[in-house]
Amino acid sequence: MSDEEFMLDTDDLERRMDGAMAALRTEFASLRTGRASASMLEPVTVDAYGQQTPINQVGTVNVPEPRMVTINVWDKSLVGKVEKAIRESGLGINPQLNGTIIMLPIPELNEERRRELTKVAGQYAESARVAIRNVRRDGMDQIKKAKSDGMSEDDQKFWESEVQEITDKHVASVDTALETKQAEIMQV
């Protein structure tokens, strides 16, 4: 095998690791920080028209004030289902009905709840790190296969260091995102 034959697709590895980071950001957005945010409802789905549908596809989600989220449900028949989905979502919010508008007052977080949320954030970050390490393992497996097909040891070391460098960069960004989120949660 000549040196030019093996070309590891580092762009693909980076894209997959970026996907793990995007998933982490979505999970972090769903964590309540004591401040109202429309993104906190993203993981909540409603049984609408025979399938699970995101809340933002059955109504308009607004944040009229820092401690309030409102959902203006378009179809009156879905108001009860949306309310039930929010109650069962584990967000710890008690919805209040006002016609087709569901109001979600965001209570202050107590110290104990803040600590629980930082632990949850840590679990989300660890899941992202595992996903990144799995992508790293895939890259290393490709390099090992190429080595067994005749790649030189210098090329093997080069590609392994490239994969490790990409992995380290993404794990560091997970750690930074986690520190930022935990500081945001603990902020009173």
Per residue in 22-37, pLDDT tens? Answer: 999 888 877 766 677 7
Task: Give residue 33's pLDDT.
Answer: 67
Q: Round to whole Å and give the CA distance between 188 and 178.
A: 18
Task: Give residue 142's pLDDT.
Answer: 92
Per residue in 108-119, pLDDT tens? Answer: 778 887 888 888
pLDDT tier, 19 (very low <50, low <70, confident <90, very high otherwise): very high
**CATH 1.10.132.20 boundaries in the chain:** 10-28+110-186
Q: Round to whole Å and give the CA distance between 115 and 111.
A: 6
User: Among 102, 99, 88, 28, which Cα is nearest to 52's?
Assistant: 88
pLDDT tier, 188 (very low <50, low <70, confident <90, very high otherwise): low
CATH number for the region 35-105 comes to 3.30.1360.40
Beta strands in the chain (DSSP E): 45-48, 51-54, 59-65, 68-73, 96-98, 101-105
Q: Is residue 63 exposed (0-12), middle (13-18) or buried (19+ Cβ within 10 Å)?
A: middle
Pairs from 170-174 (Cβ < 8 Å, separation ≥ 24):
170/14, 170/17, 170/18, 170/20, 170/21, 170/132, 171/129, 171/132, 171/133, 173/21, 174/20, 174/21, 174/24, 174/125, 174/128, 174/129, 174/132
Q: What is the pTM of this model?
A: 0.68
**CATH 3.30.1360.40 boundaries in the chain:** 35-105
Q: Does domain 10-28+110-186 have CATH number 1.10.510.10?
A: no
Answer with the residue of higher pLDDT: 140 or 93: 140
Per residue in 55-104, pLDDT tens? Answer: 989 999 999 988 889 999 999 999 999 999 988 877 778 899 988 899 99
